[in-house]
Structure formats: structure tokens, C-alpha cells
Amino acid sequence: MEEVYKMFLKSIMISGFVFIMMVMIEYINVQSKGVWQKHLTGNKWKQYIIAGLLGALPGCLGAFTMVALFSHQLVSFGALVTTMIATSGDEAFVMFAMFPMQAAILTIILLVVGILAGYLTDKFYHPKNLLNKMPRHNLELHDEEQCKCFQKNIFWSNILHPSLHRLSVAIGIIALMIGLATGVLSGKAEMWVKFTLMFTFAFALFIVVTVPDHFLKEHIWNHIIKVHLPRIFLWVFGVLLLMHFLTLYIDVEDWISNNMFVVLLIAVLIGIIPESGPHLVFVTLFAAGTIPFSVLLASSISQDGHGMLPLLAESKKGFVAVKIINMIYALVVGGVGLFFGL
């Protein structure tokens, strides 16, 4: 039971970090509304680079933006492939929480692979039938109230008369900060890690205190807390539990080391699932030193969180085409990396 309790606390810490990062990304996205879209239409290489940067953003916002733009034929099919290779969905937050240095390197590699893959895809694959079935009207950007960093006229009202949503979120963040400071959640983490996390949590608390009620309720409460957070916690805790009990009865490391190419193939195939979560199995295995970086890389190329769900609703053929192409790139890159022992 002690081990389960430790995994429960670890899951809270990871989920808390993911939540904080998602709040910050959501905040930045609202602050810079429309900037990405204005620069995406035009030169193909410009599209690939910006599409890759959008995909590299943790979470699904960049992927959703690209699907919307592709659905209206404002960007190329290759640019869409670039984003889906570069993105790791919500799992990116988890990877930065568990192994930040390797996660940063992985993100850079995914960005480079995604840009090259986008160019090669547009050069050798022209899905005319798919494009002809897409709507041709311009994409309308939703003009919503912007969130200012600091508004004197609402700051003291937020402090002295907080809504239930604001109070609940603020208490949750303060609880995370206390758990971090006391070591209950941070364990034996190095001081620089604790300091960085504390600063990040403090900034998130600033966001919660200063933003208007609209941002707090719609973006943080209804989107992040109600939609993402429960699923992230359950997946993290579930995967940690699964790996714990598997290691009690099965020599997982021995089986994987003797069947590495099979594991690579499984990692790529699981990427077909348009959902954040399954990829966490390979994130956890890599964090434990059970699988090499190349398998994690292949899994990251193949999967895209739930960023492809809007395209699945828009075009089944488009969804299948992107998935097949990304799986091919994942097998090639992952296989080469595994061959050279990476």
C-alpha cells in the first residue's frame, strides 16, 4: 500500500504540473489570438516552420488550429503532417514533468522531423480527391474578449470577492505549492527543480487571481479542469499502477530487451488511437529506463494526442491518410534510431 500511496502522490504532482502548464498555454493562446493564423498562409517553408512550432506547443491547441486551417484549405496537407508529427498532445506536459532535458531534446527532434516530413509529403503526395471535398470558404476567427494581464478595476474584486470557481482553483494551486515546499509531492527532487516549479505555480496563481471571470470559467474550469485534468490523472495513475503490478509478476525489461522491434511496432500502431493517454505507457517505460529513446521517438511521431479528432469529424479519409503517413515516418525514424542503438 505504501508503494501505491507514493504513486498516487506522484500522479498528483505530475497532473498538477500538467494543469499549471495548460493554464499558462491557454493564457498565452488567448493573449496572442490570431497571430499564428495570420502568418500561416503563404510560403510553403514558412507554413512548415510555423506549423511545426504550433505542434511543438504542449497540448492540443496548435493541432486544433492546423486542422481548422487545413479544413478550409489555408495550409497544405504537408503542413498538417508537420504539426501532427511535432505534437505530443497532453503527454508533452507529462514528459517535461518527468524528464525535462530529454523532453526538450525530443521536442526539437520532432520539430525537425516534422518540417522535413511536411516538405517530402507535399513533394510526393498530392491528395486531390481529399482536397476537393474540403470546403473553400475562409476561416472565421472567433473574436472573443481578450484577457489582460493585470486590470486594476477587477483585481481587488477578484481578491476580496472571489467566485467559487476562482477560489477553488486558487486553493488547489496553493495546496500544490505547499506540497512542493514541504517535500510531500516533490520528494527528493533537486532544489533547482523545486524552485522552478514553485515559480511556475506562483505565476499560474497570478493568472487565476487576475484574469476575468470569462477566462477563468470557460478556459480554466470548463476546458482544462473538467475536460483534461481527470483524464490525465487517471491515465498517469493507471499507467504507474499497471507498470508496478506488471513488474511484480513479469520480467518486463527482459521481454522488451529481447523483442525491441516488436515493441517499436506496437508503439507505432498504438499511435493510431486519437486520444491522449496510451502514449503514456511508453513515456513511463522510458522514464524507468526500460525502452530506448528511439522507441519513445517513434511513438511520439506516430501519435498526436487528440489533435486529430476534429479532422476525423471533418474527413475520415484525411484522418486515415495523415495517420498512415505519420506511421511510415515513425517506423523509418524509430527503426534507424534503434539500429544505431539510440
- Model confidence pLDDT, tens digit, residues 50-67: 888 888 887 776 777 777
Identify residue 202 by its one-letter amino acid code.
Answer: A
* CA nearest to 74, candidates 112, 44, 31, 110: 44
Confidence of residue 263 (pLDDT cuts 50, 70, 90): confident
pLDDT at 129: 67
d(CA 304, CA 60): 8
Question: Given a cut of 70, is residue 76 above it in pLDDT?
Answer: yes
How far lies 50's CA from each of 33, 46, 55, 159, 161, in Å?
Answer: 15, 6, 9, 38, 41
Percentage of residues of the chain with pLDDT beyond 90: 10
Question: Given a cut of 60, is residue 252 above it in pLDDT?
Answer: no
d(CA 111, CA 108): 5
Q: How many helices (H) and strands (E) does the chain have?
A: 19, 0
Question: Given a cut of 70, is residue 36 above it in pLDDT?
Answer: no
Sign of the dihedral defined by the CA atoms of residues 199, 15, 85, 39, in that order: negative
Over residues 137-169, the pLDDT tens digits come to 444 444 444 555 556 667 677 777 788 888 899
d(CA 37, CA 235): 32
| Domain spans in the chain, listed from the N-terminal domain onward | 2-134+212-339
Question: Given a cut of 90, is residue 113 above it in pLDDT?
Answer: yes
The residue behind cell 489533435 is 307
How far lies 332's CA from each of 113, 182, 227, in Å?
Answer: 11, 46, 34
Task: Give whichever of 15-24, 81-90, 103-112 has the largest mean pLDDT.
Answer: 103-112
Q: What is the mean pLDDT of the chain?
A: 78
pLDDT at 284: 84
Confidence of residue 41 (pLDDT cuts 50, 70, 90): low
Over residues 170-228, the pLDDT tens digits come to 999 999 889 888 888 777 766 776 787 888 889 889 888 888 887 888 878 887 888 77
pLDDT at 106: 92
Overall average pLDDT of the 108-130 stretch? 86
Question: Would you tell me the crossing angle of helices 191-210 and 164-182 to the nearest 10 degrees?
Answer: 170
d(CA 33, CA 143): 9
Confidence of residue 297 (pLDDT cuts 50, 70, 90): very high
DSSP assignment of 262-317 equals HHHHHHHHHTTS-SSSTTHHHHHHHHTTSS-HHHHHHHHHH--TTTTHHHHHH-HH
pLDDT at 139: 43
- Residues comprising the chain, all counted: 342
More reliable by pLDDT, 293 or 39: 293
Find out whether 155 and 210 touch, Cβ atoms under 8 Å: yes
Question: Given a cut of 90, is residue 108 above it in pLDDT?
Answer: yes
More reliable by pLDDT, 307 or 77: 77
Helices assigned H by DSSP within the chain: 2-31, 35-40, 44-56, 61-71, 77-86, 91-98, 100-124, 128-132, 152-160, 164-182, 191-210, 213-214, 229-249, 252-258, 260-270, 280-287, 293-302, 309-314, 316-339
pLDDT at 310: 66
Find out whether 63 and 87 touch, Cβ atoms under 8 Å: yes
Task: Give whichever of 92-101, 104-113, 224-233, 281-290 has the largest mean pLDDT.
Answer: 104-113
